[in-house]
Amino acid sequence: MLRKILLYNNLLNKIIQVPDKIVFRWGMLFPVIVLICISFITLKYTSVNSSFLSSTFTKQIVWFGMGSVVFILAQWIRIQYFQEYAYHLYGLLIILIGITYFMPVIGGSQRWIILGPVSFQPSEIGKLLLVFVIARVLADQKGNMNEIKLLLFILIMAIIPALMVFKQPDFGTAIVYGFIAIPMLYWSGIRSFYLFSVIAPFVSIISAFNIYIFSIWMGILVLVIYFNQPKITIGVSQFMVNIGCGIMSPFIWNNILYSHQKERILTLLNPAQDPHGAGYQVIQSIIAIGSGGIWGKGVGEGTQTQLRYLPVRDTDFIVSVIGEEMGLLGITVILVVFFTMLYWIIVYAGIISNRFSSLTLIGFASILFIHLAVNMGMTVGLLPVTGLPAPFLSYGGSFLLSCMLILALSTNIINHHI
C-alpha cells in the first residue's frame, strides 16, 4: 500500500512542480483578451436567434472559463517532464491516431476517439506533443549529428503523424504538423540552405503549372544555389530534382490523376470554379469582407452574416464576419494584437538559453501562427479552404482549450527560466 502511494507520489513529483512565481506576461496575454472579446461580441450576434443556453456565445464563455482554470493549473506542470518523456508521448500520439482508424466515421472523417460519452481528437493535443519531441531531438543532438541527417530525421518524425492525420482525412492538421518543424529547425541553427532545399521541390511542383512563374522560380533557385556554393554535384542534382518535379507534375496531372481528383484540387486552387461547394463559401466570404469597408456594417448588421450567406460563420469563417461587421478596423486590430503576441513569444524564446524550452516556445508560436495565417488566407481566397480555425476567435471548445494551454505552458516556461 505504502509502496503504491510512494510510487504514485513519485509520478506526481515527475509531473507537478510548485512554481516559484506566477507572472502574467501581458505582452502575450493582453492580445488574447482582445481577441477573446472580439470573438464574444461576434458570436453574441451570430447566435442571436438561438436560446441563451444553446447559443455559441454562452458556450464559448463557459469554455473560456474552463480555459482560464486550465491556464492556472498548467502553471504547476513540471515542464521538464515533457522533455524527459517526449519519445514516449510521441509513441503514444502515433498509437492514438492509429486507434482513430477503428473509430466510427463522423462527418466524413475519423478524427475522434470515442469512449462512451467522452470523445476527443488526439491530433489536437498531438500538435503540442510533436513540438515537444522535435524540441527534444533538436536539443539533444546539438552538434552530435550530421545536419542533413538531423534534418531528414526531424522531417520524417513530423511527416509520419502528418500523413496519418491526412488519411483521417484532416488536411488542415496535416499542414500544421508539416509546418511546425520548419521554424523549429531554423531556430535550432540548421543552415538555411538545407531548409530551402527541402521546401524547394514543393514550390517547383506547384509553380510548374504556369511557365512564367516556373521560369522565375527556376531563376531564384539557380541564384540561391549559386550563392550558397555547395559542391558542384549537389548543386546540379538539386537543380535537376527541381526541374524534374516541375516537368513531372503536369504530366501526372494530365495522365495519371482521375478527373474527380483533379476537380478537388482545382477547387482548392480556384474557388470560383465550384460556386456551390467550397468555392461558394470563399466567394461569399470575400463578398462579406469586401462589403465591410473601413468601418464595417456594424456589429450584428452584416447582411452576409445575418442572412446566412456566410457558411460556418461561427468557426472557420468568423474572420469574414469580423471583416464584414467591424471592417478593416477590426481586421487590423486582430493582425496587430496577434503579431504582438507572437512577437513577445519570439522575444522570450530568444532570451531563454535552455534549448528545449526555447525551441518549444518557437514551436508553440508556429502552431498559433499557421492556424491564423491559413485561416485568414482562406477567408480572402489566398489559400485553399482547409478547415483550420482562427486561434481565440473561432467558436470551438477543445480548440480554445488547446490554444489556452499553449499560452499557459509558454507562460510556465518563461516563468521557469526568467
Partner 1 sequence: MPKFKKVQLVLAGIFAILFFRFYHLQIYQHSKYEAKAGNNSVRKISLHAPRGIIYDRNGIPIVDNRQIYDLSVIPFDVTNQFDYQMVSNRTGVSSNELKEKIAKGKKSFHRFRPIPIKRHIDFETRSHLEENKLSLPGTIFSEFPARTYPVKAKLTHVLGYLRAVTDLTISIPNQELDYKLGDVFGFSGIERMYESILRGRDGTEFRLVDIYGIDHGVYQDNPGQQPTPGKSLNLSIDSKLQALIEDLFTGKKGAAVCMMPQSGEVLAFVSAPDYDLNSFAGPVPIELWEGWNSDLERPLINRGIQGLYPPGSTFKLIGAALAKEGGKVDKSWTVNCNGVYHLGDRDFHCWNTAGHGTVNLDKAIFQSCNIYFYHLIQKLSFNNWKVMAENFGFGAPTGIDLLGEKGGLVPGKTYMNNKYGRYGWATGNLLTFIIGQGDILVTPIQVAQMMNIIATRGNTKTPHLLLDSPSENITLSLKSTTWDFLQQATWSVVNHENGTGKAAKINGCEVHGKTGTAQNPHGENHSWFAGYLVKEGVPILSLAILVEHGGKGSVEAALISHKIFKYAQKNITL
Q: Which residues are near partner 1 by CB under 8 A?
A: 183, 186-187, 189, 284, 286-294, 303-304, 306-309, 323-324, 327-328, 331-332, 335, 338-339, 342-343, 346-347, 349-350, 362, 369, 373, 376-377, 380, 382
Question: How far apart, in whole angstroms, are the C-alpha atoms of residue 380 and residue 282?
Answer: 7
Report helix, strand or coil for 116: coil
Tell me whether residue 122 or residue 330 sits nearer to partner 1 (CB atom).
330
- Give the count of beta carbons closer than 10 Å to the beta carbon of residue 229: 9
Residues in the chain, how many? Answer: 418
Residue with the three cell numbers 524550452: 357
Nearest approach, Cβ of 140 to partner 1 (angstroms)? 20
Nearest approach, Cβ of 315 to partner 1 (angstroms)? 17
Nearest approach, Cβ of 324 to partner 1 (angstroms)? 8
Residue with the three cell numbers 546539438: 142
Tell me whether residue 91 or residue 290 sits nearer to partner 1 (CB atom).
290
Tell me whether residue 6 or residue 351 sits nearer to partner 1 (CB atom).
351
Nearest approach, Cβ of 295 to partner 1 (angstroms)? 10
Tell me whether residue 230 or residue 381 sits nearer to partner 1 (CB atom).
381
171, three cell numbers: 488536411
Tell me whether residue 2 or residue 307 sits nearer to partner 1 (CB atom).
307
Nearest approach, Cβ of 338 to partner 1 (angstroms)? 8
Tell me whether residue 112 or residue 317 sits nearer to partner 1 (CB atom).
317
Give backbone dihedrals phi and psi of 126, rounded to 5 degrees, phi first: -60, -30
Question: How far apart, in whole angstroms, are the C-alpha atoms of residue 283 and residue 291?
Answer: 12
Radius of gyration of the chain (CA): 23
Residue with the three cell numbers 500544421: 176
What is the CA 382 to chain-centroid distance, rounded? 17
Question: How far apart, in whole angstroms, are the C-alpha atoms of residue 267 and residue 255?
Answer: 19
Nearest approach, Cβ of 95 to partner 1 (angstroms)? 33
Instruction: Indicate if the alpha-carbon torsion angle 116, 118, 122, 124 is positive or negative.
Output: positive
Tell me whether residue 31 or residue 126 sits nearer to partner 1 (CB atom).
31
Please give the sequence-ordered ranges of beta strands (E in DSSP) within 3-145, or none if there are none.
Answer: 113-115, 118-120
Nearest approach, Cβ of 330 to partner 1 (angstroms)? 10
Nearest approach, Cβ of 170 to partner 1 (angstroms)? 23
Question: How far apart, in whole angstroms, are the C-alpha atoms of residue 200 and residue 240?
Answer: 12
Check if the beta carbon of residue 57 is closer than 8 Å to that of residue 43.
Answer: yes
Residue with the three cell numbers 484532416: 170
Tell me whether residue 94 or residue 328 sits nearer to partner 1 (CB atom).
328
286, three cell numbers: 470575400
